[in-house]
């Protein structure tokens, strides 16, 4: 297996997985993608007999073929252990033909744990393999969940430092406190006066700032990324879609080969792209329902083929999807554009210059299995209420967006085949809004009292990782302007 940049026309520029994961982003600004999609056979009895960890080893071995089986095994076993509160790692909860893959039983209560608990092990192994002498500095922009999951994954990992930037006014109180109270000798966390796109763009600029990189290299540092621009984030996400499908076969909801639809609350397009990669590998996935909040740049893109970011940026009750520049879309464009790097480079250039781009007819034809939709904040709360009242099932705001958009899709198309729905965060992570949704007046209480109220109201236990969040000391109080980001990094790495 080799990895190529979505923007490189140099057919010799092929990297091993280890090289790609250490680099994070290609020098030409493109993202690394696998040179082809290895195929799997759903009828192989292996899938029915295997645990989450075994399925992970199998899928990842097809992409990380420069890792020895022992190295890969060690990465998987260290990542998916009792840090996860469910032995299934990603259990599936079914309501009729809607199957919620609960991706939030890891240490930070969001689906980012699925990839970020393994990425540090990939990076350590890969750095050794490619002979990286410098200390690796992980730069991360976060809309709330990636930051904490990355901090948790990389905290006190030898030879790696991590610096996280989050939008000061764009995260929930629980998300903020999770990050500002992070322990670890090698971690730094900053709020920025700006939104997530500002944070992400700032980080991308540092990655491409050759002068900054040179001066840091002299001091013994090299940048890498824990954002989903890193291919090491994307590949582990394929695993849970495969695992969930066979869980349903085991439960008797599906027979092998039955097609299912996939519904994903989407921001940077990484999670839904992983499901699409699984389809490319041979999984019987049919239609993809891409759910957004009122920052519905992706809904419009899927409907019209035009991606246009000249629009207001809204802060919503599903903040992890408050994103206009969806970074993994570039990998999708590469796939639907028949792997034309020239095409991708030209569209990305259009986006930079004119804040919009338009797909070709071929690309639109190739994305016919994608459907978009969005939910407002009020619709999100209503959906939380409806699921709770009818089924006693508590979902977070992001998962509610997905379910609402899925119901709209079924009403519009009549396509009600079984669907896998990515349930991306614990309801406790967004407890205030979830309580509002289920009709509990707790809006005046502080963010930590709300956890207790939600627990009492629903009978669910407060997840262990945030049990004592209110009492933890704040270790990272600073907020900086966007244009100070690279100065702060330089100072930290002096």
To ligand PLP, the closest distance from the beta carbon of 299 in angstroms equals: 13
Q: Which of 266, 317, 294 is nearest to 433 (CA)?
A: 317
Packed helices 485-492 and 210-218: angle between N→C axes, nearest 10 degrees: 10
Instruction: Tell me: does residue 321 bind ligand PLP (CB under 6 A).
Output: yes
x/- track of binding to ligand PLP for residues 165-204 (CB under 6 A): ----------------------------------------
Q: Which is nearer to ligand PLP, 127 or 333 (CB)?
A: 333
The three-point CA angle 487-143-421 to 5° equals 155
Q: Which is nearer to ligand PLP, 260 or 274 (CB)?
A: 274
Q: Which is nearer to ligand PLP, 34 or 265 (CB)?
A: 265
To ligand PLP, the closest distance from the beta carbon of 149 in angstroms equals: 8
Tokens of residue 303, six digits: 């409907």
Answer for the pair 155, 113: CB distance below 8 angstroms, yes or no.
no
Q: Using CB under 6 A, which residues numbered 211 to 230 contact ligand PLP?
A: 228
352 annotated active-site: no
* Of the candidate residues 194, 270, 427, 463, the single one contacting ligand PLP (CB under 6 A): 270
Q: Which is nearer to ligand PLP, 110 or 254 (CB)?
A: 110
Catalytic one among 112, 148, 429, 436?
112
* Of the candidate residues 178, 268, 292, 458, the single one contacting ligand PLP (CB under 6 A): 268
x/- track of binding to ligand PLP for residues 275-314 (CB under 6 A): ----------------------------------------
To ligand PLP, the closest distance from the beta carbon of 42 in angstroms equals: 24
Instruction: Tell me: does residue 337 bind ligand PLP (CB under 6 A).
Output: no
Answer for the pair 344, 30: CB distance below 8 angstroms, yes or no.
yes
Instruction: Tell me: does residue 266 bind ligand PLP (CB under 6 A).
Output: yes
Q: For residue 291, what are the CA distances in angstroms to 128, 133, 283, 356, 370? A: 39, 42, 21, 20, 11
Q: For residue 233, what are the CA distances in angstroms to 118, 230, 384? A: 8, 6, 29
* Of the candidate residues 23, 57, 58, 112, the single one contacting ligand PLP (CB under 6 A): 112
Q: Which is nearer to ligand PLP, 47 or 269 (CB)?
A: 269
Answer for the pair 199, 166: CB distance below 8 angstroms, yes or no.
yes
Tokens of residue 27, six digits: 């020098």
Sheet holding 98-102, edge to edge: 92-95, 98-102, 419-423, 260-265, 285-292, 370-374
Active site residues: 112
Which residues here bind ligand PLP, judged by CB under 6 A?
110-112, 145, 228, 265-271, 320-321, 398, 424-425
């Amino acid at each position: 297996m080799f990895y190529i940049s979505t923007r490189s026309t140099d057919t010799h520029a092929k990297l091993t997985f280890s090289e790609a994961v250490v680099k994070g982003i290609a020098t030409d600004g493109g993202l690394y993608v696998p040179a082809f999609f290895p195929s799997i056979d759903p009828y192989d009895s292996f899938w029915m007999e295997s645990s989450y960890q075994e399925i992970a080893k199998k899928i990842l071995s097809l992409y990380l073929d420069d890792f020895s089986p022992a190295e890969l095994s060690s990465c998987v076993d260290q990542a998916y252990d009792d840090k996860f509160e469910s032995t299934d790692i990603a259990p599936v909860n079914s309501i009729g033909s809607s199957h919620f893959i609960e991706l939030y039983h890891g240490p930070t209560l969001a689906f980012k744990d699925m990839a970020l608990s393994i990425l540090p092990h990939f990076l350590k192994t890969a750095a050794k393999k490619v002979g990286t002498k410098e200390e690796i500095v992980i730069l991360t922009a976060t809309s709330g969940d990636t930051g904490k999951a990355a901090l948790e994954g990389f905290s006190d990992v030898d030879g790696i430092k991590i610096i996280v930037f989050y939008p000061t006014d764009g995260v929930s109180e629980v998300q903020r406190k999770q990050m500002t109270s992070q322990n670890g000798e090698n971690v730094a966390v900053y709020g920025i006066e700006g939104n997530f796109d500002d944070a992400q763009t700032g980080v991308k600029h540092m990655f491409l700032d050759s002068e900054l990189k040179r001066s840091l290299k002299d001091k013994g540092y090299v940048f890498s990324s824990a954002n989903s621009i890193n291919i090491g984030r994307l590949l582990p996400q394929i695993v849970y879609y495969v695992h969930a499908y066979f869980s349903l076969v085991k439960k008797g909801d599906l027979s092998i080969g039955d097609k299912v639809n996939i519904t994903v609350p989407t921001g940077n397009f990484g999670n839904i792209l992983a499901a699409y990669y699984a389809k490319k590998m041979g999984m019987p996935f049919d239609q993809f329902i891409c759910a957004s909040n009122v920052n519905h740049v992706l809904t419009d893109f899927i409907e019209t083929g035009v991606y246009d970011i000249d629009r207001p940026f809204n802060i919503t009750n599903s903040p992890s999807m408050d994103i206009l520049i969806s970074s993994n879309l570039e990998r999708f464009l590469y796939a639907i554009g028949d792997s034309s790097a020239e095409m991708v480079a030209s569209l990305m250039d259009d986006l930079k210059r004119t804040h919009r781009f338009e797909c070709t007819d071929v690309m639109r034809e190739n994305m016919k299995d994608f459907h978009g939709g969005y939910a407002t904040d009020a619709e999100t709360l209503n959906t939380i209420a409806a699921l709770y009242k009818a089924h006693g099932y508590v979902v977070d705001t992001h998962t509610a967006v997905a379910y609402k958009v899925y119901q709209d899709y079924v009403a519009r198309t009549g396509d009600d085949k079984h669907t896998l729905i990515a349930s991306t965060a614990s309801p406790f992570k967004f407890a205030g809004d979830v309580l509002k949704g289920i009709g509990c007046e707790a809006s005046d209480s502080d963010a930590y009292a709300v956890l207790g109220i939600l627990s009492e109201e629903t009978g669910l236990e407060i997840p262990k990782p945030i049990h004592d969040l209110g009492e933890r000391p704040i270790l990272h109080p600073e907020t900086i302007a966007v244009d100070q980001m690279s100065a702060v990094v330089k100072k930290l790495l002096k």
